[in-house]
Amino acid sequence: MTPRQRSARFAATTAALRLQVRIAGMRAARQVDPQHRSIVVIDMADFGRRTDLAQLHARTSLDRVVNAAFRASEIAWHRLVNEDRGDGMIVFIPATVSKAVLLHPFLPQLITRLRDYNAQVGAGHRIRVRVAVHAGEVVHGPHGWIGTDLNFACRLVDSAPLYQALARQTQSDVAVAVSEVIHQAVVRHGHRGIDPASYKPVHVAVKEVATRAWIHVPAEHVSANNHGMSA
């Protein structure tokens, strides 16, 4: 076989493989239905200022803290899908778990465990997080979960009002933004002792998103065992 013939055969084989991949992708896309999930996005503040080893330690510690907070809220970790964000994570919670549980007890459990962790480490290793809570339809594709509602949750956690809220409250370890969906379904009704007045409306404008969200910075004295708390 001449070099030209080998080149032509290689090109034909490559084209055939690309066509097979494209057809498989189209079939998969047709067969995948959206699934309803609650979405919690957690992002560490000032992560890029840490050294590589400090980032690794902080990320590992955050995993343990979040895992423990979910377990303490009686949400088994194996029921969740956790996707890495480098400086944080995206957690998908099944529709069978009440959205109210994500604001109480999960949120106060997260606050308590972060406070306990930070009390044991130096100021340079303190972990502070921005949290976004939303719910909607997502699709599981070949490379993970996708969807407009997932994009929206990520926009919330990256929004300027949430950054500013955590920056202002230097004694707090957590600042939370909830979507209008979560506010209407949970917060405004005061489920589980949540104080609706502690969630402040803000305008979020990030990329394709321009909407109202609600920001809450839990008080430093909040206890995970306080069922009348304002988270």
| The predicted structure's pLDDT at residue 143 | 84
- pLDDT for 149-177, tens place per residue? 999 999 999 999 999 999 999 999 999 99
Q: Average pLDDT for residues 202-213, to the nearest whole number? A: 91
- Distance, CA of 204 to CA of 179 (rounded, Å): 10
β-sheet bridge partners, residue 138: 35
DSSP, collapsed to helix, strand or coil, labels residue 50 as: coil
81 strand-pairing partners: 92
As a whole number of angstroms, the distance between CA 69 and CA 74 comes to 9
Q: Cβ(90)–Cβ(150) under 8 Å?
A: yes
Q: Mean pLDDT across the chain, nearest whole number?
A: 88
How many residues does this entry show for the chain? 231
d(CA 47, CA 128): 9
Quick check: 26 pLDDT over 60? Answer: no
Distance CA 77, CA 67 (A): 6
Higher-confidence residue: 86 or 88? 88
Between the alpha carbon of residue 224 and those of residues 45, 174, 218, the distances in Å are 22, 14, 11
Residue 70 above 90 pLDDT?
yes
User: Do the beta carbons of residue 92 and residue 80 sit within 8 Å?
Assistant: yes
Structure token digits, residue 127: 């972990």
**What ranges do the domains of the chain cover?**
1-31, 34-216
pLDDT tens digits for range 98-146:
999 999 999 999 999 999 999 999 888 999 999 999 999 999 988 889 9
- Residues 133 and 215: their CA atoms lie apart, in Å, by 10
Domain with residues 34-216, CATH architecture: 2-Layer Sandwich (3.30)
Amino acid identity for residue 213 in this structure: A
Distance of CA 106 to the CA centre of its chain: 13
Residues 100, 125: Cα–Cα separation, whole Å: 31
pLDDT at 75 (0 to 100): 95
For residue 220, give the nearest of 114, 87, 137, 84 by alpha carbon. 114
Residue 53 has pLDDT above 60, yes or no: yes
